[in-house]
């Protein structure tokens, strides 16, 4: 195929890119990168796997290069420049070329660049002078390399170097690849630190579960486990949703610290839950390999009493609203309270309708006596206590 190229070259990747951008109608004499709004740039920085690790790349770059005309940029996988570094002299030149944070350097935005080639081929590369499609970039040489997330293998970003063509460094591609390798190391190290912090913060909660359980971060990476052979990761949990975990079974996710506690849904063996009303309400659980205690609000204690009284038939959110507030106009509030209660007691509750999970026996400790909740008991004092300012328990 004969292509009217902007400049002579034998590089197949460059020729293929030029052909694509010419087919798209790009003009070589026009350079106008697209720019994202500052708020979106901030969101992309926050959500990028590199995160604070990008600062480490900038530090290493500034400490190891003595080239006053070299700039480093860290781009996300979409080719958006998120961080950059270099001398004031070179950053002024970069500003003139719109090589600024928030600018897009993918092929659809700036035609053939080192960054766009990495996005296409996922390997380190370099463009020199007229190999760039846009005339405005012909005075530069640019090298770039992909940064892969070592946890998933996906491309988390791209590190790029740029400088004047008269200062071309033969080792620039190797330098870019080394910086990318450092970025991958920093991602792995930062993730290890976050798992250690999660493990430390949630250790007591996990220790209270003697059955199989996993402690995972928000993305499903396992920080700690109990009573099972833990995989490296599971599917990212969703609050209230059930998911199957090999070695444990069907689990429910309970928010804890900066992650999730995955525990088996419903008891496999009988569980005794004791609601202590002799002071500040609290719930203690013994059975099925578990032993733990949590303090409850008075409203949550009230809800547990109502659910116990309803037995297996359970209660809808509308019925709970009527029992607690005297009308059905507080369904949203009830659902929010139930969500918070389920965070506290996990698999002890079932939903649709709300009820105690099968196999759970609730005992009430009150006034020095402990009584199974399925026996007649005078709950009236607590049930009639105003929680919303106007509660009267309806018949």
pLDDT band, very low/low/confident/very high, at 229 (cuts 50, 70, 90): confident
* Pair (372, 320) in one structural domain: yes
**Where in the sequence is the domain holding 301, given as residue range(s)?**
271-383
**Residue at 198 is within a domain:** no
Closest-CA residue to 115 (of 145, 85, 150, 138):
145
Decide which of 158, 190, 222 is a domain's last residue. 190
**Residue at 390 is within a domain:** no
Decide which of 190, 220, 250 is a domain's last residue. 190
**Residue at 83 is within a domain:** yes
Distance separating alpha carbons of residues 164 and 140, to the nearest angstrom: 5
* Pair (185, 226) in one structural domain: no
pLDDT reported for residue 51:
84
Instruction: Give the model confidence (pLDDT) of 235-280 as tens digits.
Output: 888 877 777 776 677 788 888 888 999 988 755 556 788 899 888 8
Q: What is the pTM of this model?
A: 0.63
pLDDT reported for residue 269:
57
pLDDT reported for residue 241:
75
* Pair (162, 242) in one structural domain: no
What is the mean predicted confidence (pLDDT) over 22-38? 89
**For the chain, what percent of residues have pLDDT higher than 70?**
85
Decide which of 132, 155, 190 is a domain's last residue. 190
* Pair (134, 249) in one structural domain: no
What is the mean predicted confidence (pLDDT) over 165-178? 90
Mean pLDDT (the chain, rounded): 83
**Residue at 44 is within a domain:** yes
**Residue at 335 is within a domain:** yes
* Pair (260, 276) in one structural domain: no
Q: CATH number for the domain including 336?
A: 1.10.10.10
* Pair (44, 159) in one structural domain: yes
* Pair (177, 292) in one structural domain: no
What is the mean predicted confidence (pLDDT) over 113-122? 94
**For the chain, what percent of residues have pLDDT higher than 90?**
39
* Pair (38, 179) in one structural domain: yes
**Residue at 230 is within a domain:** yes
**Residue at 290 is within a domain:** yes
Q: What is the DSSP letter of 278?
A: S
How many domains would you assign to the chain? 3
SS3 state at 216 = strand
* Pair (50, 149) in one structural domain: yes
* Pair (79, 176) in one structural domain: yes
Task: Return the C-alpha torsion angle 125, 129, 131, 133, nearest 10.
Answer: 110
**Residue at 394 is within a domain:** no
pLDDT beyond 80 at 121: yes
Q: What is the DSSP letter of 315?
A: B
pLDDT beyond 60 at 306: yes
Distance separating alpha carbons of residues 308 and 383, to the nearest angstrom: 12
* Pair (74, 175) in one structural domain: yes
* Pair (242, 319) in one structural domain: no
Q: CATH number for the domain including 54?
A: 3.30.450.40
């Amino acid at each position: 195929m004969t292509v009217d190229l902007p400049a002579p070259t034998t590089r197949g990747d460059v020729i293929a890119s030029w052909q694509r951008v010419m087919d798209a109608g790009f003009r070589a004499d026009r350079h106008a990168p697209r720019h994202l709004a500052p708020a979106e740039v901030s969101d992309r920085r926050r959500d990028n796997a590199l995160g604070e690790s990008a600062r480490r790349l900038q530090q290493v770059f500034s400490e190891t290069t003595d080239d006053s005309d070299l700039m480093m940029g860290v781009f996300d996988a979409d080719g958006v420049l998120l961080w950059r570094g270099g001398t004031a002299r070179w950053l002024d030149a970069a500003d003139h070329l719109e090589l600024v944070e928030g600018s897009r350097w993918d092929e659809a935005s700036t035609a053939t660049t080192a960054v766009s080639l990495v996005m296409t081929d996922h390997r380190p590369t370099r463009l020199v002078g007229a190999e760039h499609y846009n005339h405005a970039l012909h005075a530069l040489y640019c090298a770039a390399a992909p940064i892969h997330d070592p946890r998933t293998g996906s491309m988390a970003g791209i590190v790029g170097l740029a400088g004047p063509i008269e200062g071309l460094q033969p080792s620039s591609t190797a330098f870019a690849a080394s910086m990318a390798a450092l970025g991958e190391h920093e991602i792995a190290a930062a993730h290890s630190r976050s798992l250690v912090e999660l493990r430390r913060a949630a250790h007591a909660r996990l220790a209270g579960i003697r059955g199989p359980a996993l402690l995972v971060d928000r993305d499903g990476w396992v920080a700690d486990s109990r009573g099972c052979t833990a995989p490296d990761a599971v599917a990212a949990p969703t609050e209230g949703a059930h998911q199957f975990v090999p070695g444990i079974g069907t689990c429910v996710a309970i928010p804890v610290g900066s992650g999730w506690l995955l525990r088996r849904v419903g008891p496999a063996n009988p569980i005794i839950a004791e609601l202590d009303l002799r002071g500040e309400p609290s719930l203690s659980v013994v059975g099925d390999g578990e032993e733990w205690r949590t303090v409850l609000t008075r409203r949550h204690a009230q809800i547990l009493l109502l659910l116990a009284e309803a037995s297996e038939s359970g209660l809808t959110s509308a019925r709970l609203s009527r029992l607690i507030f005297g009308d059905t106009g507080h369904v949203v509030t009830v659902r929010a309270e139930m969500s918070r209660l389920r965070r506290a007691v996990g698999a002890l509750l079932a939903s649709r309708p709300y009820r105690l999970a099968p196999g759970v026996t609730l005992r009430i400790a009150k006034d020095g006596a402990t009584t199974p909740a399925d026996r007649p008991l005078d709950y009236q004092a607590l049930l009639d206590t105003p929680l919303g300012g106007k509660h009267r328990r309806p018949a």
